[in-house]
Chain A
Amino acid sequence: MIRNIVIALLVVGVAGTAFWGYQEHKEKNAVLIHAENSYQRAFHDLSYQVDLLHDKVGSTLAMNTRHSLSPALTDVWRITSEAQSDVGQLPLTLLPFNKTEEFLSKIADFSYKTAVRDLEKEPLNDQEYSTLQSLYAQAADVQGELRKVQYLTLKNHLRWMDVEMALATGKENSDNTIIDGLKTVEKKVTGYGEANEMNPTFTSSEQRDENFKNLQGKPISKKEAIATAKSYTHSKSGNVEVNVEENGKGSGYGFYSVSILDKDSNAELNMDLTKKGGYPIWYINNRDVNKTNIDLNQAYTKAQEFLKEHDFNSLELFESAQYDNIALLNFVSSENGVKIYPDSVKIKIALDDGAVIGFSADEYLKAHKTREIATPTISEKEARDKINVNVKIMEEGKALIINDLGKEVLCFEFLGTIKEDTYRIFINADTGQEEKVEKLKNSEPVYENLI
């Protein structure tokens, strides 16, 4: 009797488990198919966009008038951005696919900058035309390889989920058509090598001194790095643990990372300094700040004292903001009344005791150099006339900014309003061109209070 009951219970149990397992299996498959489909969509869409890109770049080669060239280049720009977004949805992070992505972004940069230019006045020059030709040839190669992978995927029902698995487990050496195919694409693009470097005006981001080459001074030792870091701590306690490390080989410039742990208060200061000259790039002295005892204006005074102490001269306040109990102040260089926006230093002040708990001179060190600031060729009145009549101008001044093409340009700066919105407008002081118009952000409502 008992035996029969036990058997019956077991049978029910087994049947139940089997049913449950089957349900789980079905659900898991549904989820897998869903994920697979979204990968497939991104991949097929990518190869379609590259097809389209190749055709469009091809047709621009035959165009000659601004009338047709500008819209066509704009279209190329749009397609590259679609293709980039498709690449971003594929599980390729662990696969070296960078060169292909960089290729897409190069086409995007090139097409954007030529499309927005007045081609009537400044048509494509020979060099740009040959760039376009070489982009066309490369696009053809990428298109060909991608089509091959696409064909094999469709023919052999290859799954992107397997690619993801293979990449995640590091077993990519096993036979995997998709991975191999994409590696061929990458190799092709890499093969064009440096010969394909674009015209210098198109490498705006590379114009900045990313590697602190402008810095003056002799290389410092680890000991000097520690001494500099210590001069920032203002810690009276002798009970500290100091650590210093050199940069790895992957960095474009030499730096030391210093950390100073005050064992009494458990506060830690971290700082990176350039090896050349020993300039602090940034430091963070993180601790909880739970009270506000001083106001933003007092924090500003503290920041000024700090800058003076560390030999930053001729900086003026550009922006200040209060986040909870911390003040953030952004300073920029100023020479003869010209604000130099690329030279920016940021300082974080704790509003409980006014201590400097953060400092970043990254941008300042990259941009700062002795400059010859030219005198404007147009008058302020002329610059003012270039501004949209709907803008009510409230404040004006002169400023040096980096424009769309990555060049430093001297501008007249205007702050103005249209109704409740505030705008910052830069008019080139030589050409009278409108270099930049920014709508300045107002504070954002806290949504938690709106719901």
Chain B
Amino acid sequence: MKGISSKWKWLLLFSCITICFGIYPEARTNAFSSQIIQKGAVGDDVIELQARLQNIGYYRGKIDGVYGWGTYWALRNFQQDFGLPIDGIAGATTKQKLTNASNFNKAWVHEQINKGNEFTYYGGVPIENQVKAKGNGSGGSASKKTPSDTTTSANLPGGYSQNDIQLMANAVYGESRGEPYTGQVAVAAVILNRVESAAFPNSISGVIFEPGAFTAVADGQIWLTPNERAKEAVVDAINGWDPSENAEYYFNPETATSKWIWSRPQIKKIGKHIFCN
């Protein structure tokens, strides 16, 4: 008895799911997911948005899967011309109008992205003429990426490049890889506090490579490959998290050799590090 009833339940559930996810959206839109796309979003929906806007001549930038300013203005212009509320947010109505007005060849666009080709997707021009294959023609970058990860650009906190973040992540990892996450964010924050401070160099590289400033720089541990956690800590610090509470120095009491560092007024302790002013 029990077995049969649960079987029925499963069947019912299954058909419900099929109706909800399989058939129903198919009938309405055959492209975008249900996501409401706003500025700052990344992913396949953004690729489609950019490609469709380019197809009808609104978007002239690169189709890279990151909703930046170029995409924002393109979408707003589209919304204006099609009598939609101008908010730069691709909700259900906007997506529907856009889908009706434009073409999108998903397989083709994703193929170009995966191959790393330079391409555009304007309407009225045969797509074969809009591709410039990658220089060496090896298409090697496709193997580096997981299939779902098709975006070719990245959002970055204001004023910093990926390389700045990498350099800081190197320093943070070299200095504090055994520390709790907050401790790592704090170390990154100290670097940024020093850049701001009058008593230290005015750039990230200047602060990190100041002779004697960081042990990890002196003993070469800065050149270890940092993990994602260190990078996340750096991005958090750049975005305004400062667990060190405005500290400009820190030291490990077990290994510190300088007596002078003990004379600095201490703020707090995170993990093994004491942060001070």
Chain A residues within 8 Å of B, Cβ to Cβ: 39, 81, 84-85, 87-98, 101-102, 104-106, 164, 167-170, 172, 205, 210, 245, 247-252, 255, 257, 268, 270, 272, 281-282, 284, 286, 292, 295-298, 300, 319-323, 326-328, 330, 344, 346, 348, 358, 360, 362-363, 394, 417, 420, 422, 440-451
Contact = CB atoms under 8 A, between A and B. Distances in A.
B109 interface: no
A447 B164 CA distance: 13
A446 B268 contact: no
B76 A93 contact: no
B221 to A, nearest CB: 16
Given A85-B206, A394-B76, A449 B268 contact: no
Contacts of B232: 326
B99 interface: no
B257 A297 contact: no
B227 to A, nearest CB: 11
Given A84-B202, A250-B265, A362-B242, 17 more contacts: A92-B212, A97-B199, A101-B198, A105-B199, A168-B258, A286-B182, A292-B43, A297-B41, A322-B42, A348-B239, A358-B236, A362-B241, A417-B73, A443-B66, A446-B162, A448-B144, A449-B116
A245 B40 contact: no
B231 to A, nearest CB: 9
Interface of B: 35-43, 45, 60-62, 64, 66, 68-70, 73, 76, 89, 116, 141, 144-145, 151-159, 161-162, 180-182, 185, 196, 198-202, 206-207, 210-213, 232, 235-236, 239-243, 245-247, 257-261, 264-270, 276-277
A360 B241 contact: yes
A381 B215 CA distance: 57
Nearest to B69: A422
B152 A446 contact: yes
Contacts of A450: 116
B69 A440 contact: yes
Contacts of A90: 211
Contact of B70 (A81, A105, A297, A442): A442
B109 to A, nearest CB: 15
A328 B38 CA distance: 13
A346 B239 contact: yes
Nearest to A319: B40
Given A297-B35, A297-B36, A322-B40, A442 B239 contact: no
Contact of B240 (A245, A296, A363, A417): A363
20 contacts: A88-B206, A90-B211, A94-B258, A94-B261, A105-B199, A168-B257, A248-B265, A248-B266, A252-B246, A257-B268, A282-B241, A284-B185, A295-B45, A296-B41, A346-B241, A360-B242, A440-B69, A442-B70, A444-B162, A446-B162
Contact of A443 (B38, B153, B239): B153
Contacts of B210: 88-89, 93
A420 B42 CA distance: 19
A168 to B, nearest CB: 6
A252 to B, nearest CB: 7
B26 to A, nearest CB: 20
A169 B213 CA distance: 14
Nearest to B247: A250
A398 to B, nearest CB: 19
Contacts of A298: 36
Nearest to A259: B182
A284 B241 contact: yes
B69 to A, nearest CB: 4
A19 B201 CA distance: 43
B267 A106 contact: no
